[in-house]
Structure 1
Amino acid sequence: MFRHLTIDNIRTRISAAFLSVLLLLALVCEPSAAHAAAASAKTPAGAASRIDAVLLLDVSNSMKTSDPGGIAAEAMKLFVDMLSVQGDKVGIVAYTDKVQREKALMEVKSASDKQDLKDFIDGLDRGAYTDIAVGVEEAVKVLQNGSDASHEPMIVMLADGNNDFNEATGRTESESDRELADAVAAAKKNGYPIYTIGLNADGKLNKAKLAQLSQDSGGKAFATNTADDLPEILSEIFADHLKLKVVPVQSLTANGDYQDVTVSVPNASVLEANISIISDQPVTAKLTDPKGKDVAIPSSGVLLSKSKTYSLIKLQSPQEGDWKLSVKGVPKDKIDINLIFNYDLTLAVDSPAPGVYKKGDKLDISAHLMSSGSQVKEAGLYAGMKAVLLATDLDTGKTEKLPLDNTQGVFKGTFQVQASHNYELKVRAEESSFYRESPAVKINAGGQAVPAASPAGGAGSGSESGSGHTLRNILIALGALAVLAAAAAAWLFYKKANRGFVGQMVVEVVDGNTGEKTYPQYKKLSGFRGKFTLHQLLQLAPELKETENLVFRPGTGDRIVLKGGPDTAVEKSGRAVDTVRGLELKSGDRIAVQLHTVDKSILLEYLK
């Protein structure tokens, strides 16, 4: 029954069915149980969120004047280097008036994964025209197809904000604007903030358009007259999205000798310290830990990434205290140094007892820092932070800030109900390098308590008999179970449609005229969900568009299933195979895809 439903329809039906179940159960269950279920649903997870980022680049020819030095690519590579060594996911969309090249969300598991992403950025080519809607639409799709529900999704867009259409296509500004509005609405609906960076080196930046795009999606807009500012802007975006703060360390004017800078690691909860050294000229650096011991760059626990405009030193689980960074640059060169600490910390607030409150009631509030699912009890960390309770009156919209005590390894305070209204409570805690906010807890102080049931069989009371009341509850419960069963079926279908992939695909392209074969490319499949096309795997190369009709889906176990149309020419072990019904591939299987529109064939090997 779900075969022809779209994913959005399935999500809508699941949500509606789930809400129906909750409403029906609320009629059957005691009010206190319903409140307890709601409180349990809001219990925050302990692990820190990872990033799922799509880097969206305008690679049209107009960017040659907006970014004549090509610093945009350098800044995007810096962003990649700032990500955690393991766990974050990155995708890339390069667009003109069409998608030039694309890289699906790939989980970063090693330094080599980051290098793959940076090599991809370096290999991007330019095109003649520009259509912003095309790029934003595709970036949203990349997140929809590969984003992890437990991660923090985001889109970082770098453009000048102007369209330039190919007259031969008949494309109009109004058509593009409508599609762009739909794509931005989809981004907002899915929780994908779009951070825009407008380049204005030639004075032609459409600042208003990019600012509106960011505002409508829940992101932020940045603009610069020089591409040299981009690394610092990307640092701010990275920090803002992870609730971190960029800590300016010091700006230096190089004198040809080593100059010392102090990098203070505030506590033992720092997961990573990212030290970015931004300079147009070569820079060398030395590092000394808080105990005065020289530390090699790179070495165990110290990673180094370098490019023509920056060096990034990443300290993993660094020792608390003052580190000494010694920097040597070309005389008179300006060197900017910024610091971003990455913390594996979340903030959890203990939910007040469920129930309906009244004016004058006092609620004890306590909040804890959490790391990897466990409560942090380091009193010094709490003492170095300031915390407030943000109490919002949902009836008036006013928010009151109430300071919390932080002296005993916990944030504590008291909230008093001021009026018969509903409230939303959350805790914000911050220090110089990061801040955290807890999930909101809602307090009902304005509703009416559910009246007690009338005695059964009371004369003239008009109430139901005991048996009638029981029958009604049974019917309601059966209805709830039926809706729950439908929701469960929809959820199973949805889960199947969004199953992940394992392993990788080895891809080689053979030229039918010359017989030349490309070097094997190893494409990791973990970034895809539900399905992907061969065209996506080939990074949407325009001349290989024919391959978009070949679709891969997860199979049983660790296998994958390939489906194609009746005109698809696929061979396995030298024999033509039928892909209309689906061809199952296990680890080690090899196939060849013969293309009709170009004289090329694609060789594929699936490896678990």
Structure 2
Amino acid sequence: MKSRFRHTFCRLLTLLILAASVSGMNPFKASAASSASQVDAVLAVDVSNSMNTSDPAKIGNEAMKMFIDMLSEQDNKVGIVAYTDVIQREKALLTVKSQEDKNELKEFIDGLNRGAYTDTSVGIKEAVNLLQDGAEPSHAPMIVMLADGNNDLNESTGRTETNSQKDMEQAIAEAKQNGIPIYTIGLNADGKLNKESLANIAEETGGKSFITSNADDLPGILSEIFASSLDLNVVPLQPITGNGDYQDVTVNVPNENVLEANISIMSSQPIDARLVDPDGNTRKLPADDILLSKSKSYSLIKMLKPQAGDWKLQIKGVDQDKIDINLVFNYDLGLSLSAIPDQDYAKGDNININAYLTSGGQQLQDTSLYEGMNAVLNITDLDTGKTDTMELDHQSGSFSGTFKIPEDHNYELKVRAEEESFFRETVPVTIRAGAAGPGSSSSAGAVAAAGKTSMVLPAVLIGLVVLILLAAAFFIWKYFKKASRGFVGQMVVEVRDENTGEKSYPQYRKLSGFRGKFNLHQLMQLAPEFAETEKVVFTPASGDRLTVRSTSDLTLEKSGRAVDASRGVELKNGDRLSIPLGSAGKTIFLEYLSVNS
């Protein structure tokens, strides 16, 4: 006990000190960088049986696979949640570093099956959980949810719309708190979609809502969501109708700052593609710097650091087949706002605004890129909530203008620059004028705060000591409380027959009757067909958690990935295990709930 407590105490102390020194504000909340070039995305897809009617060709699956193909192989993360009124399957966030990683994700999507009932809150709640468990603080988190109808709850489980709505509100609140935008895609094939509910989810979390009655639109929607997450625009290219011969489409790479050019080609029939570079050379597909992915409804060409200029895309399609082509660039570009002078402001004062593009963290030297861009200053009056815009001029490698303070109010200033294929925004700056209080900007506030550091430091240290002592007392109390009561909560048990595909109704097994340890065979009520589960053993762990160990050859999967349970795997509230039983032809699904519902 002493060793475990000492370890926990030291870890808590280290985390508190690091959090206080790094954030200087709230040590318990981390947020993604405002201009993150990498994403942590969870794809949450409704796999209820109604999708057999609204998307019989599973184009939604193809669209998700295209989204994955568009990601760069630079440590982006993707997780997948397939839900009905329960989680059918899920895959924890996987770091995408190679084409093999992308193939693993796409194979998982191909293996998704459909089932009865629908509860949207289940999918969103689990997607938020995946991001909270595995997202990187420096990445931009996001959830993409695909649904085709309203909730259809299984009455036999006791689940009600009230329960579902409560869980939905909680999941949305957690997404907002953690800066996770949710992009909702409603497939309204039967006209019964609850559009308002999906729009509210997106609006509340800072995402976007898309509604379509045609599954064929899904690849285009996923392309737009991908682009939006990285401050990019989708550039539609000239659509063509197949005639059995090669047809030319011009693809213009505008400058040398393009990291990747993604050409997505959507068609209902197979196509053949060739690519000619600006020097007139026909390029081999695929190649080291040109990747090619194909599916039954799309082809994706990804050009890495492509040469600037006009490329020629040659496409041969089946006669009369409609072929849509979109282009999404990924740029090594940022937008920065020059520091605003530190002084007191008042109504009528002028503030010079100067913003400039950056590449690799340095101001961009190529001034020609500014020529094709439009830039505006977005001005939000924080006292009234009103937002105005002011156009900026581009000259000598920057965007500039003069903002005249209209009232003695608080203002948030942000520059947005945009051209056909991308947009960028600066980090917002707050200006305080006149009666609103002295100080010019957020940088001024930072300077003032720095001047008070020496006064605040002792109080911070005392607060940390008190917090640590309270935390230590809490951990001691939790440890003895748990040791005295054995197990808490319950286990939700479901069994799927792999021969028929049928799945049993969830059974809730309370754990309070066990002491010290129990095995899975006991949880399965000692049924002979589950005898091989006797060597899967559960013991209590700190913080109302469980530890599961297995000395048998059974495979245990946690969140869709096989785990080594010989040394023990910890389960917290909401964690799920799946255990295939080859000899019995069945798969056991377990969900641990640390609090009885």
TM-score (norm 1): 0.71
Question: 1:475: Cα distance to partner?
Answer: 7.8
Match of 1:289 among 247, 265, 277: 277
Contact 1:20 1:483 in 2 (8 A): no
Matched to 2:458, the amino acid is L
How many Å separate the matches in 1 of 2:52 and 2:158?
Answer: 25
How many Å separate the matches in 2 of 1:209 and 1:47?
Answer: 29
Question: 1:21: Cα distance to partner?
Answer: 10
SS class of match (1:143): helix
The answer for the alignment partner of 1:258 in structure 2 is 246
Matched to 2:268, the amino acid is D
The answer for the alignment partner of 2:176 in structure 1 is 188
State how 1:112-511 maps to structure 2 within 5 Å: 112-446=100-434, 447-449=436-438, 478-483=458-463
- Alpha-carbon displacement from aligned partner over 1:146-184 (angstroms, at most 9, x marks no partner): 111111111111111322222221211221111112111
How many Å separate the matches in 2 of 1:474 and 1:343?
Answer: 42
The answer for the alignment partner of 1:29 in structure 2 is none
Gaps of 5+ in 1: 23-41, 451-471, 492-534, 536-542, 554-562, 573-581, 586-592, 603-608
The answer for the alignment partner of 2:495 in structure 1 is none
Question: 1:423: Cα distance to partner?
Answer: 1.6
- Alpha-carbon displacement from aligned partner over 1:542-576 (angstroms, at most 9, x marks no partner): x99997968999xxxxxxxxx964x844489xxxx
Contact 2:260 2:302 in 1 (8 A): yes
The answer for the alignment partner of 1:530 in structure 2 is none
Distance change (3 Å), C-alpha of 1:18 and 1:217: closer
Question: 1:419: Cα distance to partner?
Answer: 2.6
How many Å separate the matches in 2 of 1:283 and 1:478?
Answer: 69
Question: 1:144: Cα distance to partner?
Answer: 0.5
The answer for the alignment partner of 1:92 in structure 2 is 80
Distance change (3 Å), C-alpha of 1:166 and 1:545: farther
TM-score (norm 2): 0.72
Question: 1:117: Cα distance to partner?
Answer: 0.5
How many Å separate the matches in 2 of 1:337 and 1:141?
Answer: 35
Distance change (3 Å), C-alpha of 1:232 and 1:551: farther
Distance change (3 Å), C-alpha of 1:112 and 1:20: closer
Question: 1:476: Cα distance to partner?
Answer: 6.0
Distance change (3 Å), C-alpha of 1:93 and 1:331: same
Question: 1:305: Cα distance to partner?
Answer: 0.4
SS class of match (2:259): strand
Question: 1:481: Cα distance to partner?
Answer: 3.6
How many Å separate the matches in 2 of 1:252 and 1:141?
Answer: 43
Query: How many percent of aligned residue pairs carry the same amino acid?
Result: 53
Gaps of 5+ in 2: 440-451, 472-519, 521-529, 554-565, 570-576, 588-597
How many Å separate the matches in 1 of 2:540 and 2:393?
Answer: 57
How many Å separate the matches in 2 of 1:170 and 1:195?
Answer: 30
**Of the two structures, which has the highest relative contact order with CA contacts closer than 8 Å and spacing of 6 or more?**
1
Contact 2:348 2:405 in 1 (8 A): yes
Distance change (3 Å), C-alpha of 1:392 and 1:211: closer
The answer for the alignment partner of 1:53 in structure 2 is 41
Question: 1:291: Cα distance to partner?
Answer: 1.3
Matched to 1:263, the amino acid is V
SS class of match (1:148): coil
The answer for the alignment partner of 2:68 in structure 1 is 80
Question: 1:375: Cα distance to partner?
Answer: 2.2
Matched to 1:94, the amino acid is A
Distance change (3 Å), C-alpha of 1:341 and 1:485: farther
The answer for the alignment partner of 1:540 in structure 2 is none
How many Å separate the matches in 2 of 1:312 and 1:546?
Answer: 47
Q: Does 1:62 align with 2:50?
A: yes
SS class of match (1:358): coil
Question: How well do the aligned residues superpose, as a CA RMSD in angstroms?
Answer: 4.0
Question: 1:448: Cα distance to partner?
Answer: 4.6
SS class of match (2:352): strand
The answer for the alignment partner of 1:497 in structure 2 is none
The answer for the alignment partner of 1:101 in structure 2 is 89
Contact 1:252 1:335 in 2 (8 A): yes
Contact 2:367 2:397 in 1 (8 A): yes
Distance change (3 Å), C-alpha of 1:191 and 1:549: farther
Matched to 1:412, the amino acid is S
Distance change (3 Å), C-alpha of 1:583 and 1:292: same
Contact 1:47 1:345 in 2 (8 A): no
How many Å separate the matches in 2 of 1:311 and 1:198?
Answer: 24
- Alpha-carbon displacement from aligned partner over 1:424-456 (angstroms, at most 9, x marks no partner): 111110101111110111112124559xxxxxx
State how 1:523-602 maps to structure 2 within 5 Å: 565=547, 568-570=549-551, 583=567
Distance change (3 Å), C-alpha of 1:220 and 1:490: farther
Contact 2:249 2:312 in 1 (8 A): yes
The answer for the alignment partner of 1:39 in structure 2 is none
Paired positions, count: 481
Distance change (3 Å), C-alpha of 1:549 and 1:367: farther
How many Å separate the matches in 2 of 1:346 and 1:123?
Answer: 39
Contact 2:549 2:567 in 1 (8 A): no
SS class of match (2:53): helix
The answer for the alignment partner of 1:467 in structure 2 is none
Distance change (3 Å), C-alpha of 1:328 and 1:21: closer
How many Å separate the matches in 1 of 2:25 and 2:368?
Answer: 47
Contact 1:546 1:597 in 2 (8 A): no
